[in-house]
Amino acid sequence: QVQLVESGGGLVQAGGSLRLACASSGRAFSSLGMGWFRQAPGKEREFVASSWGTTIASYADSVKGRFTISRDSAKNTVFLQMNSLKPEDTAVYYCAAKIRAGARYEYWGQGTQVTVSS
């Protein structure tokens, strides 16, 4: 199986930046599709960004132009660079992994809290 551990969350002011990291273990990192999701209080979990390989990436419309997903394969880590943060970005952010394209995400981290103040 795959183990995922998120880090980098915290409290920032609107307009600030955070860089989230997700460290993986237990399976070859290069074989995994990686994604970031978030869930705000009282709302459903939503897709944020995904990565296949080093060049293929996808983003939710709400974060395009502000967030960037990337990988450091040597360290088995995926990152989410979050710039120009808004209060509506406040949520618990989860890292996820899957083995097959088109399948549901199978492995999930514990989440890291991101709070953006006005």
Q: What is the pLDDT of residues 11-69, one digit of tens each?
A: 999 999 999 999 998 877 778 899 999 999 999 999 999 998 777 899 999 999 999 99
3-class state of residue 75 by DSSP? helix
Predicted pLDDT of residue 31: 80
Alpha-carbon distance values, 83 to 49, 80, 92, 113 (Å):
14, 10, 17, 16
Q: How far out from the chain centre does Cα 90 lie?
A: 13
Beta carbons within 8 Å of 53's beta carbon, 6+ residues apart: none
Predicted pLDDT of residue 77: 94
Predicted pLDDT of residue 28: 75
